[in-house]
């Protein structure tokens, strides 16, 4: 198999995943397209450095993130507002106990069936609202299926940090989804 063929069979199947990753990083479809184009161009040029059969997806994500971070140095993003809003949700109750959402939900829906009732769009929108660090780890783990070690390498953080970000990000997401479920009537919290 030549260089072109191996790139076609190992890298290109991840185009959708890289696009989604780029979309989340950049926050705009147009920027994401440029980011993906640059990512695949760089990946193709560096394809000789890739070890065939290893996880091409996390390798492509790493390139994509590096391209994004270089661009980001030039253009400051408007992330503080979102981060502050989410942190406020976090401090409202999430830092007081290990499993506070579960403790609350347990009275009304102990098995968390409300999660299944929330539409995909609602879940994805809630993920987008997480602070960047938590959002990235939750997406990479729960949506894209990367292993802890792959996420650690990609984000250049220790595996222990991946675990703690996942723990806090999931807990925050559970809180947001629970509030969404109670607001929309998926969970009935008022006694009849």
Partner 1 sequence: MTRYDCLQALSKLYEYLDGELPPDDTEAVRHHMEVCQGCYPFLQFCSSFQDALHRAAHGQTDAPPALRSRIADLLQTEGAPPAH
Q: Contacting partner 1 (CB under 8 A), which of 95, 113, 184, 189?
A: 113
Residues 31-70 that bind partner 1 (CB under 8 A): 33, 36-37, 40-41, 44-45
Residues 118-157 that bind partner 1 (CB under 8 A): 118, 120-121, 123-124, 127, 138, 141-145, 147-148
Asked if residues 127 and 138 have their Cβ atoms less than 8 Å apart, the reply is yes
| Angstrom distance (rounded) from CA 146 to CA 11 | 16
Return the structure tokens found at 56: 């091409």
| Angstrom distance (rounded) from CA 139 to CA 145 | 8
Smallest separation (angstroms) from partner 1 to the CB of 173 = 8
Among candidate residues 54, 53, 79, the one with its CA nearest the CA of residue 68: 79
| Angstrom distance (rounded) from CA 21 to CA 32 | 8
Residues within the interface to partner 1 (CB under 8 A): 3-4, 7, 12, 15-16, 18-20, 23, 29, 33, 36-37, 40-41, 44-45, 98-99, 102, 105-106, 110-113, 115-116, 118, 120-121, 123-124, 127, 138, 141-145, 147-148, 163, 166-167, 170, 173-174, 177
């Amino acid at each position: 198999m030549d260089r072109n063929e191996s790139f076609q069979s190992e890298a290109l199947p991840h185009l959708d995943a890289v696009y989604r990753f780029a979309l989340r990083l950049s926050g705009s479809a147009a920027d994401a397209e440029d980011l993906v184009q640059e990512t695949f161009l760089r990946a193709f040029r560096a394809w000789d450095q890739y070890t065939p059969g290893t996880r091409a997806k996390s390798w492509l994500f790493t390139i994509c993130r590096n391209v994004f971070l270089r661009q980001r140095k030039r253009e400051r993003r408007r992330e503080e507002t979102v981060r502050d809003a989410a942190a406020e949700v976090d401090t409202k109750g999430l830092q007081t106990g290990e499993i506070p959402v579960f403790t609350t939900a347990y009275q009304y829906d102990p098995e968390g069936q409300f999660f299944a009732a929330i539409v995909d769009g609602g879940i994805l929108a809630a993920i987008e609202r997480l602070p960047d660090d938590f959002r990235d780890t939750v997406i990479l783990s729960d949506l894209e299926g990367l292993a802890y070690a792959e996420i650690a390498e990609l984000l250049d953080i220790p595996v222990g940090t991946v675990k703690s970000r996942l723990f806090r990000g999931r807990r925050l997401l559970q809180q947001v989804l629970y509030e969404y479920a109670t607001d929309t009537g998926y969970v009935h919290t008022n006694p009849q």
